[in-house]
Amino acid sequence: MIRTLLERKQYGRRYRVLHASTVWDLLSPLECIEQGGRFVAFFVAPDWPNERQTWIQVATSLLKQGLCYCCVWANGNAEGLHDLIDRIIIDGRFYEDDDRSVIMTTWHDRDGLAEAAFFFVHCAEPAAAYESLCHDWIAIGVGDSKLAIDTMKAVKAQLD
């Protein structure tokens, strides 16, 4: 089940913080994404290595839905999920051969959750080819509901 914890329009963007009880919940299309649009995602997923195969399916699905920038925070495990998403982008050819349409990924193992949320809100910018299509910035806490609430608080603090 996916619950919306925060929804706010600011800086010409729609910010949402979602809580997905399990990574399996992310296999269904995200209803909050504008049809035909692009979006920036911030995954808070500390237990991702336990669900590697499911994350492959989730990342592929989200790329097909328009993911154009992905930030990952996983309490010390973010680099691996970031690398997995990069591999899917390359293997699935979810890119054009120019700098204007690159799908960016960043990982934030050395940052606390608050610093990663700052980056998501203030620094994650889609490539030039996606700027006019990208209106949704979606943070998703996966698993632990307390961590999802902490994610909501961290993102909200950046918007206040």
Tens of pLDDT, residue by residue over 94-142, are: 877 777 889 999 999 899 999 999 999 999 999 999 999 999 999 999 9
Among 2, 8, 1, 3, CA closest to 137 = 8
The single-letter code of the amino acid at 76 is G
Burial class (CB in 10 A: 0-12, 13-18, 19+), 76: exposed
The single-letter code of the amino acid at 126 is P
CATH T-level fold of 2-159: Protein-Tyrosine Phosphatase; Chain A (3.90.190)
Percent of the chain clearing pLDDT 90 (strictly above)? 69
Say which residue the tokens 């960016």 belong to.
Answer: 104
**Bridge partners for 136 per DSSP:** 14, 39
Report residue 151's pLDDT band, with 50, 70 and 90 as the boundaries.
very high
Residue 31, pLDDT > 90, answer no
**Bridge partners for 44 per DSSP:** 73, 141
Average pLDDT over every residue of 31-41: 87
